[in-house]
Amino acid sequence: MRTRTMMKNRRTAHNSTYKKLAVQWLIEALCFVSSFVVADSFRLRNRQLLVAANRYRQAFFTSRQKSEIMKKLTLSLITLLFSILGFTQTSEIQKLNLDFEQNENGYPEKWENFGSNDYKIYIDSTNAKNGKFSAVIDNNNSKPDFKALAINLPNNYKGKFIRLSGFIKTENVTDGYAGLWMRIDPQIGFDNMNDRGITGTTDWKEYEVILPLNPEKTDKIVIGGLLVGKGKMWLDNLQISIDGKDLDNKNLEIYTREILPAEKDKEFDKSSNITFLNLTDETINNLELLGKIWGFLKYHHPEIAKGNYNWDYELFRILPDYLKVKNNQERNKILTNWIGKYGNLPICKECKQTPNDAVLKPDLSWIENSNLSTPLKVSLQEIYKNRNQGENYYIKLHPNVGNPDFTNENPYSNMSFPDDGFRLLSVYKYWNMIEYFFPNKHLSDKKWNSVLKEYIPKFINAKNELEYELVAVQIIGEINDTHANLWGGGDKIAELRGNNFAPFKAEFVENKYVVVDYYNLEFSENAILKVGDIITHIDNKPIQTIVDSLKSYYPSSNEASMLRDISADLLRSTKNTISLNYISENKTKQQDVTLYDRKQLNMYHWYKVNKEEKCFKILDGNIGYITLANIKEEDIPEIKKSFKNTKGIIIDIRNYPSTFVPFALGSYFVSEPTEFVKFTQGNPDNPGEFTFREGAKIKSGKNKYNGKLVVLINEKSQSQAEYTAMAFRAVKNSIIIGSATAGADGNVSTIHLPGGLRTMISGIGVYYPDGTETQRIGIVPDVIVKPTIEGIKKGKDEVLEKAIEIINR
């Protein structure tokens, strides 16, 4: 009995020893694995791990223990190993190197850069917000330019908004700013903090950029940091979130677009294979007709609307045979077969007639007025009666606003100078977009129906990239919309105009071209001309002659906005000097003026903005003054508090408001809900139809302001500035003074054309509640006051002085 007890005790002690050893070796194995995991290495030393694991296994089998301990420890080992390995999965931050902890030769891995080669980009191990490293963009010695760090996000995401945040530190940032930036391609969203950039020397602070998502249209999302001008910036700890979910969130949804047949068609990616050898009048007439039919089918035919056809390339497929026709019968046969290719249409039960009160109605009179055969005319009319309803691959309306969204339009940016076929495609695209979806087509000087025939030979006959850009900007000008210009792709035009400028700014005042300010005072002695001097000739050409020669290349709604834009380029050249004839103190003089590279000048666009100053102040006589050029949302409560006892308030909108204020600030001036605007918008279900819809009302605030309100406007008041002026005009005791605005209001819609050209249109019609139009007319002041040459010489702001006078009456 004693022996059995001794053996049992010995066995218990033996097992206990093995248990302890097993646990020790298990811990050893786990610690060994953990040490490599923590070191962020998955290259485990298998032999040493195997030895430790074998010790664990042998301890239990030699103990002849079929106990629960083995099961529990085995399970614990497996669970813990998986847990450890699970915790060490590389996060998206690490994959993208958003914390800049991965670097090679002093440069952040996985990041690209673009901009001036004079800037330096490197890793800093002494200044980091988190971790060991931060990224630096440095330009302490070179001329002001810019440099950006960039990385593409790996996916397209479902959601409403994407947020980029990150920490930035700066040192002596001047002549520009530092900031974050984000871009959603193609042309869906962009923010580079240019309106709120970081300047000077600042410590680490978190900043953010937020953009709305449009996953159905998105090709890629690019983020990064940016330094404009001189100085130094540090960047660290970037974060990306979609509707509040970071990139590692399991609930984050990746969006994968369905690839439609239109996108798979790549046949003409490199060339249309179209060449026009002889443009006769008959050929041009036939091409005009084809362009109208092509656009009509694009926006009406259900099969095309489904994205079943690359409609650009379908044009290139019909053109070779179409150009060979010898008579109308051959032409009609080709068109009949072409239209028939896309199938018979079912009866459309949802198609509605155009409302009688529509502001604009579809104009398909060209079908009946053409020399097409009767069956062809009937075929086109049947397509209209049974047109597409709902989703359309090529056109949508922007949510909540209603301006057109021209979807799936390839800009063909790889073609700096598109070939004959693509240039014809360019004019077809633009004409039809305007024909069916421009709300102000009826206001253009020239009847739009005649424009296509005029511009077909101009586009086809363009001999080089510059001529193509020039004819593009001319047709853009035909819609008489200041929003419309060549906003992208006009490289050759920019080269033609040059990058050297006079050191002073001149504008049209009292119908004369007058020096109004110096960009850099240090250049004034050499330039000789003084503020208030009148320039009469540039390089011996009269100013009016130059203006007349340039008008067609400066799209504008009215004369004032056209002169505003031309004035900025008259003192611009590729040369280093220009000869000026001018009048100073009633004496005619001549001076050769040295021009400077734009980077050497403190140039500003239209008006000066001092971001360091507050947007509001109290003038002498207890009059409140607000400029919207640099107003911030957080300023509005303080304005209401500070100005409540003032005699009157002046709101200066001779600028573009930095914050949208019609409702937040407008509520201070009304005692009841107040209407001030209504809109027209298009209808993709009935292209060419535009109908009215109501605009939002200004809601009244708690404490209404009871003093006078005077609003300042001029030709520099455009778009949002005009909308804001309309809102304040609705205030009962308000007075608008100054001069008529630019006449281009309404949310803009972007248009892409072959060769990477990018333009825009005012996408909705903007009207007063009584139906009075604002497009082209602008906001007309109650009291007209314009600057005078004498006032400019004396440094007066005559419009502001008039506003003060009105309040003091």
What pLDDT does residue 68 have? 52
Q: What is the mean pLDDT of residues 26-34?
A: 43
Bridge partner list, 766: 679
Q: Which residues of 295-317 are buried (b: 16+ CB within 10 A; e: fewer)?
A: bbbbbbbbebbebbbbbbbbbbb
- What is the per-residue pLDDT for 22? 45
pLDDT surpasses 60 at 644: yes
Q: In terms of DSSP H, where are the helices of 658-786?
A: 720-729
**pLDDT confidence of residue 195:** 84
Whole-number pLDDT of residue 65: 47
DSSP 315-359: HHHHHHHHTT--SHHHHHHHHHHHHHTT-PPPP-SS--PPPTT-S
Query: Would the CA dihedral through 553, 558, 563, 565 be positive or negative?
Result: negative
Would the pLDDT of 82 be above 50?
A: no
The per-residue pLDDT for range 246-274, each reduced to its tens digit, is: 988 989 999 987 889 999 999 999 999 99
Q: Is the pTM of this model over 0.85?
A: no
At residue 265, the pLDDT reads 97
Average per-residue pLDDT in the chain? 89
CB atoms within 10 A of CB 742: 28
3-state secondary structure of 803: helix
Mean pLDDT of 459-488: 97
Tell me if 217 sits within 8 A of 186, measured CB to CB: yes
pLDDT in tens, 146-198: 999 999 999 999 999 999 999 999 999 998 899 999 999 877 899 999 889 99
Tell me if residue 383 falls in helix, strand or coil.
Answer: helix
CA 275 centroid distance within chain: 35
Percentage of residues of the chain with pLDDT beyond 90: 80
Distance from chain centroid for Cα 4: 89
- Where does the pLDDT of residue 486 fall: very low under 50, low under 70, confident under 90, or very high at 90 and above? very high
Q: Which two tokens stand for residue 5?
A: 């007890």
For 506-562, how does the pLDDT look when each residue is reduced to its tens digit (9 = 90+)?
999 999 999 999 999 899 888 899 999 999 999 999 999 999 999 999 999 999 999
Mean pLDDT of 600-617: 90
pLDDT of residue 297: 98
Q: Decide if pLDDT at 16 tops 90.
A: no
Positive or negative: CA dihedral 686, 689, 692, 693: positive
pLDDT above 90 for 675:
yes
State how far the Cα of 671 lies from the Cα of 706, in Å rounded to an integer.
Answer: 10
Measured in residues, the chain has a length of 809
- Look at residue 526 in the predicted model and tell me its pLDDT: 86
**Mean pLDDT for the stretch of residues 695-719:** 94
pLDDT at 91: 75
Parallel, antiparallel or unpaired: strands 572-573 and 500-501: antiparallel
Contact in structure between 298 and 311 (CB atoms under 8 Å): yes
Q: How confident is the model at residue 143 (pLDDT cuts 50, 70, 90)?
A: confident
Q: What is the DSSP letter of 261?
A: H
Q: How many CB atoms lie within 10 A of CB 138?
A: 19
Is residue 142 very low, low, confident or very high in pLDDT (cuts 50, 70, 90)? low
